[in-house]
Amino acid sequence: MKSFEFRTRRVFPGRLFHVGHLCLGLFILGCADPTPSRAQEGSVPKVGSRIPDCTLIDPKEKKVRLLDLVGDRVLVLFFYPKDGTSGCTRQACGFRDVHAELLEAGARVVGVSSDSAQSHREFAAEYQLPFLLLSDPEGKVRDRFGIEPDLFGLVPGRVTYVIDRKGIVRHIYRSQLQVRRHVKEALETVRQLRSSK
């Protein structure tokens, strides 16, 4: 039996738009959780609030307490979807390229994804990343920060936080596509915090 289809020349010239595609899209939208998210409930870090006390895994597979990374320096904490993908590589290399400037301004850079410690070691080695990459294998820290997935839940969210020496969030930037903007916003905020001391 042939699939039912129709042509939409004005919107998609020369292409066939299947009803099945429409049904799939509606199914995905219908699967969205109607209950309020943690972010909507206001139980996650926002500008002016303190970061949660979380534990992650470093490249040597040792536990790292997030609050131990603040105190002596401002923390630039960026959550990204996956090691080695195009956007994440550009973002990580962007932080690499301004790493000396961030250090001079008194900041520490840390990246977080659900990748394994081994994946982080390989990613850092391949692109000569001078900063720490931490693993959040079950996504629990993402949940604590209220980071929602993008593209109908298919891609982990991309969010960068700038956290001062007291553990207070001073800036948040969210964008899946504007990967270089994460670096720009973080550097500008770190410089502003240094000048306001």
The conformation of residue 113, written as its DSSP 8-state character, comes to E
Task: Identify the helix (H) or strand (E) that includes residue 182.
Answer: helix 179-195
User: Do 134 and 112 form a contact (C-beta atoms < 8 A)?
Assistant: yes
Q: Tell me which of 23, 54, 88, 93 is the catalytic residue.
A: 88
Is 88 among the catalytic positions? yes
Mapped onto helix, strand or coil, the DSSP state of residue 48 is: coil
Task: Identify the helix (H) or strand (E) that includes residue 95.
Answer: helix 86-97
- CA dihedral (83, 85, 91, 92) positive or negative: positive
- Residues with catalytic annotation? 88
